[in-house]
Structure 1
Amino acid sequence: MDSNVQLVKNVLKYTFGLVPIVAGLDKFANILTNWSQYISDGFAEILPFEPSTFMMIVGIIEILAGILVLTHTKVGAYIVSAWLTVIALSLLFSWSYIDVAVRDLVMAISAFCLARLYEKNATKANN
């Protein structure tokens, strides 16, 4: 049983470490998609700069979050979970890209589970 838990922890750790890094880097290249399209018109109007600049800032945050998951998994996973929840909620409130919002909520739950696996491990080690 412990080897299965370790496998799940490793798969989730590298998934939530590498995927945010790749997505963050792509905010500069727009190879996977045009990331600015996910910004609602209302939000884009209040930005003090271009939506593409905002997405580059988002990309930097995502890269840092991915690195944090790889280096400090529990804290990083909680941050990624919260980040994905915020993204999903912003999409739901703008009622656009609902499919992406649902996917991001599922990923947020998975990242939260990863953090809890590390939380449980830390608690178990202290007992």
Structure 2
Amino acid sequence: METTAVKPGLESTFNLLKLTFTIVPIVAGLDKFFNILCDWTQYINPVILDLLPFSADTFMMIVGVIEIAAGILVFFKPKIGGLVVSAWLTLIALSLLVGWHYADVAVRDLVMALSAFLMARMPLT
């Protein structure tokens, strides 16, 4: 069996990304219940909002639970969790871009999605 040597700095980079993609989704998810950072309902695409069978606040609480679960998944299974977070952030960005609302946030989310994807692909996972 051939072993691959880990390049210097790769392990610390991986650990920093893992920590980031554990904490950020959990904090953002928890904030969906408290709205301390912002009013999260403002980011819901109006088309999606019209399709919901429940309130925007309820939708954001569901989103919060998903984000908390994704952050926990990154902590325990970074390869799978990184892909989940990457897909989740990409979907959020696409929903923002469809109505051209918050394009700056969408770009940021796409950069974070790429970072989560790359973390999941690191040979340390």
Normalised by the shorter chain, which TM-score bucket? Answer: over 0.9
Give the partner amino acid of 1:104.
Answer: D
Alpha-carbon displacement from aligned partner over 1:68-119 (angstroms, at most 9, x marks no partner): 00000100000000000000011001110000000000000000000010xx
Task: Say which of 65, 69, 72 aligns to 2:77.
Answer: 72
Q: How many angstroms does 1:2 deviate by?
A: 3.1
Q: CA RMSD in A?
A: 1.1
Alpha-carbon displacement from aligned partner over 1:32-69 (angstroms, at most 9, x marks no partner): 00000001222111100000100000000000000000
More helix by share: 1
Structure 1: stretches of 5+ with no match in the other structure? 123-127
Percent same amino acid at aligned positions?
59
Give the corresponding residue for 1:27: 32
Instruction: Give the TM-score of the pair, scaled to structure 1.
Output: 0.91
Give the corresponding residue for 2:68: 63
Distance 1:63 1:73 in 2: 14
Runs of 4+ in 1 over 2 A off after TM superposition: none
Give the partner amino acid of 1:99.
Answer: D
Structure 2: stretches of 5+ with no match in the other structure? 1-5
Q: How many angstroms does 1:30 deviate by?
A: 0.2
